Amino acid sequence: MMRKRAPGGGRKPKGAAPVRSQLTVRIPDELRAALEENVARRRKRKPSWNLTEEILGRLYWSYRRQEEERRDPYMKALAFLISAIADNVNMRRSLVSEWHRDPFMFRAFKRGVVELLDALEPAGEARPHLDIEWLRQSGGKLHQLMADQSETPEAAGAWAARQVLGGLYRFAPEPEKWTRLREMEQDPRLMGFAGTIADRMEEEFYAMSNVRRVLGIKEPKGGKL
């Protein structure tokens, strides 16, 4: 007589992304069959591929698709050019399999991107697009931060990099911060800036999990870097 498997028993999935919580979802039989068919097809190239990885991969893809649809045409073109820089540095991926982990390749890529952006930079005076004087006079802490971060191109770029890196190493959501930013959205002098930042931060938080997986960034023990 066959023994029934105990709840939670059996082989645990060994996906590329760490699985920390369990979610039970009922799906139509035909959808599960389609997923399992894709799993079988992928296993020809990657024998360890399983249903959990297939579902997570498609969820990650949906967030990437959402981000791609939101991106403007110029950003798409720029992303293509930056990707072409990486391909040329690594001779169309023929020299080093993980070029982003190789110091020589990465520095060459960095230099190529800088030269590309220098060549595409538009001429003219760089002026802030927010009312910096009003932000400084408002007295609010967030308003002061926005003024500091938006006054010069260098400050805006440094802030943008800190935001992206902060999102990359942020393993827990920040709903209170997102709410405060959206409350500032009501002031027309902010040109929708605060609410847009909150929306981007929330979207990027959920999309960053896949970026961390690809780059091999793992959450540190204790939740501290």
**When comparing pLDDT for 8 and 145, which is higher?**
145
Quick one: pLDDT band at residue 130, thresholds 50, 70, 90? confident
Please give the average per-residue pLDDT across 28-55, as a whole number.
Answer: 86
Contact 171, 219 (CB under 8 A): yes
Please give the average per-residue pLDDT across 40-51, as a whole number.
Answer: 84
Q: Terminus-to-terminus CA distance in the chain, angstroms?
A: 51
- Nearest alpha-carbon partner for 146 in 154, 155, 204, 201: 155
Q: Tokens for 109, please give them.
A: 């890529």
Assess whether pLDDT exceeds 90 at residue 212. no
Distance CA 142, CA 139 (A): 9
Please give the average per-residue pLDDT across 165-186, as a whole number.
Answer: 77
Please give the average per-residue pLDDT across 76-93, as a whole number.
Answer: 89
Computed over every residue of the chain, the mean pLDDT equals: 79
Distance CA 134, CA 143 (A): 9
**When comparing pLDDT for 87 and 179, which is higher?**
87
Q: Where are the domains of the chain?
A: 23-70, 71-120, 131-220
Please give the average per-residue pLDDT across 94-110, as a whole number.
Answer: 88
